[in-house]
A and B are shown apart, each in its own frame.
Chain A
Amino acid sequence: MANAPLNYTPVETNDTLQLSGDRIGDRIFLKIEELSGEKVFRCMQCGSCSAGCPMHDRMDIAPNQIWKLLQMGEHEKVKNSESIWACLSCFTCGVRCPKGIDLAKVMEAVRQLLVRKRLDRVDGNKIPKEILEEVPQIALISCLRKQSG
């Protein structure tokens, strides 16, 4: 670091600095990390996930911002977002993330927090009959699996 001031101490990377929900003392944050198996503080905000997301135009919070808000302890905003329901687990973000973390799993964890409290997005009884007759079986099952408890 030629231009760094003399007393410069490099900041530890997120990989070695074990930031986690323990530090910020947040039960919901910990639950999201547990359900997803991902370390939220590993995200460095490069934006690759947002660049490749096919559903970005339907999201109110961009994929990279989901990580950022969680890091900031703003999980309520994430829970109330359209983005978690727009995400359809296409895994594009995960295969492109330079830090090897998988947003699909975090999105699923947040959806699970909601549907386990009966805060379903889709009510199977309200799917119109003509849609039920039209769509393939795998569409119906995956829709209900992903968006209801």
Chain B
Amino acid sequence: MNKISYYPGCTLSNTAKNFDLSARESMKALGWELDELPRWNCCGTVYSLASDNLINHVAPIRLLVHTQELGRDKLTTLCSMCYHTLKMSNLMVQKDRDKLEKINFFTKDKDAEYKGRVEVLHLLEILKNDIGFANIKEKISRPLKGLKLASYYGCLLTRPKAAAIDDVEMPTIMGDLINSLGAQAVYDPCLTECCGSYHTVMDQEVVADKAERIISSAIKNGAEAIVTSCPLCFFNLDERQKNILEKTGKAYDLPILYFTQLLALGLGLGPEVCKFDLHHIDPRPLLKAKSII
């Protein structure tokens, strides 16, 4: 069994257990263990953009130190926001040794020095590059036949370029995975448009607007569900359908799924690892109609 250090982050350990469990179980079925860091903290969620804000980079760098302490040189994560924060902070200290020294000096009482050599990877990158979509396809025991899915990347998987896991404007990595599971990836022009992100806390209306645009575009392009990799995108597209309904009277009822849930189903795992009870729009009727569950 291959092992890779895994950082779940706050949301996957709380509200997004459907994402976490389906990933761990799918990876196990593929012969990989997502080995959770024994010590971890919140990464801070956003990569600090102000040039003098070094303190905000301490949290993500600590996670890289914990990985290094295990003698590992790779760390994977699933949440797009965690991925982005870890990836960008890592790139920042790899480029700017002066900042790395300052951070190491600040944390030296508690942690070892970070050497700058850990690689931050999104799980999609491991599925594509280390396992290979062709190999995944061979292991699919329950092809997701007849399911039309729009991939939704949002902002942080493909922007800025330095952190992008695929093409900045036309990513295909999630669509390629969907196709290898036997489902059909449909193109959606809103695939990298922002869902309104954290405005969901103070301005639900703007998020409902953005979500409606993304959802209606996916439907127009033939999608029966949207696939995502971010618990905040998931929440805004799933839960905010309630706000769309209140605002416009339109019930889209479009299921939102994590790519790992589809992977789990394709690999023949039971729907219990997908925790569909955590969804606002229940995907089970659609999956039953397609004889997938």
Contacts and interface: CB of A to CB of B under 8 A. Distances in A.
Interface of A: 34-37, 54-55, 57-58, 88-92, 94-95, 102, 104-105, 108-109, 112, 122, 127, 131, 134-143, 145-147
Interface in B213-260: 231-232, 234-235, 239
B117 interface: no
Nearest to A34: B51
B206 interface: yes
B42 A90 contact: no
B159 A134 contact: no
B175 interface: no
A146 B198 contact: yes
A134 B79 CA distance: 18
For the residues of B in contact with A, the DSSP-based class is: loop
B51 A137 contact: no
A46 B159 CA distance: 21
Given A35-B50, A88-B196, A89-B49, 14 more contacts: A54-B210, A88-B197, A95-B159, A95-B160, A95-B168, A104-B49, A136-B232, A136-B234, A138-B198, A138-B231, A139-B197, A139-B232, A143-B198, A145-B46
A135 B207 CA distance: 12
A142 B82 CA distance: 11
A98 to B, nearest CB: 14
12 contacts: A35-B52, A54-B194, A90-B197, A92-B159, A95-B168, A134-B239, A136-B11, A138-B198, A141-B44, A142-B46, A143-B201, A145-B45
Contacts of A91: 155-156, 159-160
Contacts of B161: 95
A92 B10 CA distance: 26
Interface in B41-99: 42, 44-46, 48-53, 56, 79, 81-82
B51 A92 contact: no
Contacts of B141: none
Given A92-B159, A95-B161, A138 B10 contact: yes
Contact of A139 (B9, B50, B200): B200
Contacts of B15: 136-137
The main secondary structure of chain A at its interface with chain B is helix
Contacts of A136: 11, 14-16, 231-232, 234-235
B193 interface: yes
Contacts of B234: 136
Contacts of B56: 145
Contacts of A34: 51-52
Contacts of A138: 9-11, 45, 79, 81-82, 198, 231-232
A95 B169 CA distance: 9
B194 A94 contact: no
Contacts of B196: 54, 88
B199 interface: yes
A16 B46 CA distance: 34
B289 interface: no
B159 A90 contact: yes
B1 interface: no
A109 B50 contact: yes
Contacts of B81: 138, 142
A126 B135 CA distance: 51
Contacts of B194: 54-55, 88, 90, 92
Contacts of B168: 95
A105 B53 CA distance: 12
B10 A141 contact: yes
Contacts of A137: 10-11, 14-15, 42
Contacts of B49: 36, 89, 104-105, 108-109
Nearest to B195: A54
A143 B161 CA distance: 24
Which 10 pairs from chain A and chain B are nearest by CB?
A91-B159, A108-B49, A143-B198, A137-B10, A90-B194, A142-B198, A143-B201, A141-B45, A54-B194, A90-B155
